[in-house]
Amino acid sequence: MTTALYLPEENIDMIAATSVLQQQAADIRTRTINWASYMQSQMISEEDYKAISALDKSRASYLAQNSSQVVKTLLNLVSHLSKDSTIQYILVLLDDLLQEDRSRVDLFHETAGKLKQCIWGPFLNLLNRQDGFIVNMSSRILAKFACWGHETMPKSDLNFYLQFLKDQLATNNNEYIQSVARCLQMMLRVDEYRFAFVGVDGISTLIRILSSRVNFQVQYQLVFCLWVLTFNPLLAAKMNKFSVIPILADILSDCAKEKVTRIILAVFRNLIEKPEDSSVAKDHCIAMVQCKVLKQLSILEQRRFDDEDITADVEYLSEKLQNSVQDLSSFDEYATEVRSGRLEWSPVHKSAKFWRENAQRLNEKNYELLRILVHLLETSKDAIILSVACFDIGEYVRHYPRGKHVLEQLGGKQIVMQHLGHEDPNVRYEALLAVQKLMVHNWEYLGKQLEKENENQKQGAAPIAGKA
């Protein structure tokens, strides 16, 4: 049985009513199909002809008395007819039947079971059609079959379907993107389907699309998908490994739509409330502070909202983040900044005391933070991030006796040296300093030389010549 998460419907079917799919469905409903010609050419049986004709004339009464026959006929027609316009009509009819009464999903499952027919196969096959309406209406029906009944989608079909939805989301200029996102909103309410979605790298896709320019409606739908994922404590704990907090913080700062604000705040609240490990919740709080969420909350506190949930979430988050700031050690702040991948010249980097006390902590969790710094040097295009990463690596080597050896083992020395030729002068400068620190062994001697040089400069004397 599917374990659906019963959340407010958020009027998502009202949203769907404005989508391309629903506009086209309204036109398709007005069509008249000549079922007699299909029977005369022996493309459908007399039994199916009678059923579909009766269904066209008086849907509710015929269905009530002949439910098994209706299911059998619709599955037969979807499986055996091929003309686009006819398939479109059958799919709209079937979707309407399910939309009118969700309990009909179980009727389809039970009847298909008695007939020894696979309910998933015909609709999964239609996902391969060229016609966009057929593909997306079939997808919508599959989501309803998977979420509204007692039967879950089999695992192999589920992985195929979730991969399909993910690919459709990532397709450029997909006019049906709202319909695709709507299917995902339904699927991710069911806990059994969430891990399968993570398994096809779904969260990364959501984040990648959210970090590009999408309209507020799609923004809302995709953040809604993240929100329902965070109701699972294990997934809530892992979520920021995908940089969910920085991306949503950026959207929150630019957001003009109240419903987008509301759903982002709800995600943030779940990221604090749902993880079972309090240290994860603390890390999420620090990440939010790092991403300037407190500033956004103080702006939101000045606004009046019709929705009480927004006010409650703003109060909750403000309190939690303020508390985390008070408990924040400089190393917590530093670690969160590094993990976010958004390095900047925050005060902690330039603090000699910080590096004396904490350089060795970059070795924790199998050199986690040091590996991230090396990775940023390898992949980032941002001059500030590259400059700060070079500086931090230099300070690590300077204050940790085995730092040079560790960095060489991680391949970091070579990557730092590559930045000596970087186009940005600040990156070149920080890379040069880091390389000098890598090359110098006697830091005590160098420290004394620098102290003398500083003293001489204060007294107006010429700097000490020669090498450190």
DSSP state of 233: H
pLDDT tens digits for the chain (468 residues)?
444 454 444 444 444 445 889 999 999 999 999 999 999 999 999 999 999 999 888 787 888 888 889 999 999 999 999 999 999 999 999 999 999 999 999 999 999 998 888 899 999 999 999 999 999 999 999 999 999 999 999 998 999 999 999 999 998 889 999 999 999 999 999 999 999 999 999 999 999 999 987 889 999 999 999 999 999 999 999 998 899 999 999 999 988 889 999 999 999 999 999 999 998 998 899 889 888 899 999 999 888 887 888 999 999 999 999 888 777 778 988 998 898 888 999 888 988 889 999 999 999 999 999 999 999 999 999 999 999 999 999 999 999 989 999 999 999 999 999 999 999 999 999 999 999 998 875 555 556 666 666 676 666 544 444 433
Output the six-digit token pair for 276: 């079972």
**With b meaning 16 or more CB within 10 Å and e meaning fewer, what string describes 82-113?**
eeeebbbbbbbbbbebbeeeeebbebbbbbbe
* CA dist., res. 344 & res. 385, Å (int): 6
CB 78 within 8 A of CB 91: yes
pLDDT of residue 92: 95
* CA dist., res. 338 & res. 344, Å (int): 9
CA 372 to centroid of chain Cα atoms? 21
H or E stretch at 198: helix 191-199
- Measure Cα distances from 172 to 5, 21, 35, 209 in Å: 31, 17, 38, 10
* CA dist., res. 164 & res. 127, Å (int): 8
* CA dist., res. 222 & res. 355, Å (int): 40
* CA dist., res. 49 & res. 36, Å (int): 7
Dihedral pair phi/psi, residue 62, rounded to 5°: -65, -40
Return the closest-CA partner of residue 428 out of 416, 438, 411, 439. Answer: 416
Q: Which residue has the tokens 């086209």?
A: 24
Burial of 403 (0-12, 13-18, 19+ CB in 10 A): buried
* CA dist., res. 22 & res. 196, Å (int): 28
pLDDT of residue 446: 57
Q: Which amino acid is at 262?
A: R
* CA dist., res. 295 & res. 321, Å (int): 11
Residues near 398 by Cβ (< 8 Å), separated by ≥ 6? 355, 359, 437, 443
Residues near 346 by Cβ (< 8 Å), separated by ≥ 6? 333, 337
CB 424 within 8 A of CB 383: yes
Residues written for the chain: 468
- Measure Cα distances from 18 to 7, 27, 261 in Å: 22, 13, 21
CB 97 within 8 A of CB 59: yes
pLDDT of residue 466: 40
pLDDT of residue 267: 97
Rg value, the chain, Cα:
30
Q: Which residue has the tokens 């759903």?
A: 263
Output the six-digit token pair for 93: 């009819």
Alpha helices in 230-363 (DSSP H): 233-238, 244-254, 258-273, 278-290, 293-301, 308-327, 330-340, 352-358
Output the six-digit token pair for 56: 């066209």
DSSP state of 4: B
Domains in the chain with CATH codes: 18-151 (no CATH), 331-450 (1.25.40.150)
Q: Which residue has the tokens 């991030």?
A: 385
CB 5 within 8 A of CB 231: yes
Residues near 232 by Cβ (< 8 Å), separated by ≥ 6? 191, 194, 195, 274
Q: Which residue has the tokens 């699927």?
A: 187
CA 281 to centroid of chain Cα atoms? 18
pLDDT of residue 1: 47
Output the six-digit token pair for 399: 């204050």
CB 120 within 8 A of CB 153: yes
